[in-house]
Amino acid sequence: MKTITILVVDDEPSIRMGLAATIRRYGYTVLTAVNGDDGFLKARQFLPHLIISDVMMPHLNGFEMKQQMSVDPLLASIPFIFLTARTSNEDRLSGIRGGADDYVTKPFVIEELIARIEAVLRRVETEQERGREQMKQAAQGEMDKLRREVLQNFSHELRTPLSNVMMSLEMMINNKFKTVEDQQEFLQIAYSSADRMETLVADIIVLSDIDQHNLNLMRQVIDVEHHMLIPINRKLARYEDKALNFAHEITINGIIKAPRREFTQALLHLVDNACKFSPQGGTVKLTITSSENGGATIMVQDEGNGIPIDLQEKVFERFYQISQGDDREFQGLGVGLTIARAIFSSLGGEVKILDSHQGCCVLATLPDLRPEDLSYG
């Protein structure tokens, strides 16, 4: 059973000490404060479950202390029981209007006060449980919505390239082409669609590896041509109609070592995002500088609309893009930045969005080899 902490606020030492000693006998942890100012400070320091406060006190009186606490997000929800010698209905109404959960007049029978304490705490617990249940239902509703969007989007992302592959193969089987170029066009459609499906499957596999803490961490030598430029150029072919200008500046001061498949997958996602959000004819710039012992810094810049500061962490959340609903503008599952950050983080690095006057600038860091890293070659 959790310990309940009660703060007793009263400027009369005998009442304060006697009340605290009595309440302790019922199993509660009790703190005391000598006036409203002291009570406010103690409340902020200890965040009690309940406050029992006298009304008439020097400095802050009980009503003023409650009012001051009501505008403090940390203290506003703490329940209050007021103690006072005033017995008129007007005084009781003032206490209730002042935010009291209960109002006890002096002199009081201690058993009655304890009963009121227990009643207030039960009521608060019931309300909190109701709130937790409502939050749980709301979260479940959001999860169900996200699940539907994920499944709908996954179906669309898979069905479209699969249909293109099947259509192209059917055309090649059932038709005689007059020229090799005609046949080549359908081969290219089938190939690019299969490549898109392969990317989707690779993302699902790496997401599963992330969830199971099973990412490959074996660091091997990265070849600039085979593990960077060739895959990137293949990715750029998807954006041929945007007539993008791709510029790269790669400075190798020493070998780069990383898990090859995962490194390439993360790099492609960074470049793909830049291409996706670039305007027609825009420039995507890739800058890579290696360190001397396996590490590297990677910067990808585009000329798109950029990412607002308040969303610069949100975009790293899994499936964030598809939360925009059916009218989303761009293809993909919305996991590219999630995957890139997870891969670099697993190697002790990071991926973050930098402040930029134009477009979006993403920085990925791969640290040098550490003693605990697995390395081959």
Tokens of residue 352, six digits: 């973050």
* Reported CATH class of domain 219-376: alpha beta
Please tell me whether the peptide bond between 107 and the residue prior to it is cis, using omega within 30 degrees of 0. Answer: yes
pLDDT tens profile 61-108 = 888 898 899 899 889 889 988 887 655 455 555 555 556 677 787 777
Show me where the domains of the chain are located.
Answer: 5-108, 132-211, 219-376
Tokens of residue 134, six digits: 């409502």
> What SS3 class is residue 214?
coil
What's the whole-model pTM score?
A: 0.58
Pick the CATH number of 132-211 from 1.10.287.130, 1.10.10.10, 2.40.40.20, 1.10.3720.10: 1.10.287.130
Q: Please provide the CATH number assigned to the domain covering 5-108.
A: 3.40.50.2300
Lowest mean pLDDT: which of 150-154, 219-223, 252-256, 357-361?
Answer: 150-154
Mean pLDDT of 216-244: 93
The helix (run of H) or strand (run of E) holding residue 221 is strand 219-221
pLDDT tens profile 29-42 = 999 999 999 999 99
The pLDDT value recorded for residue 333 is: 58
Q: What is the C-alpha to C-alpha distance for residues 167 and 66, in angstroms, rounded to an integer?
A: 72
Q: Which residue has the tokens 């800058």?
A: 287
pLDDT at 145 over 80: no
Mean pLDDT score across all residues of the chain: 85
Same fold, 5-108 and 219-376: no
- H runs (alpha helix) in 107-236: 110-174, 180-211, 224, 230-236
pLDDT tens profile 39-57 = 999 999 999 999 999 888 8
Strand partners, 296: 290, 366
The pLDDT value recorded for residue 43 is: 94
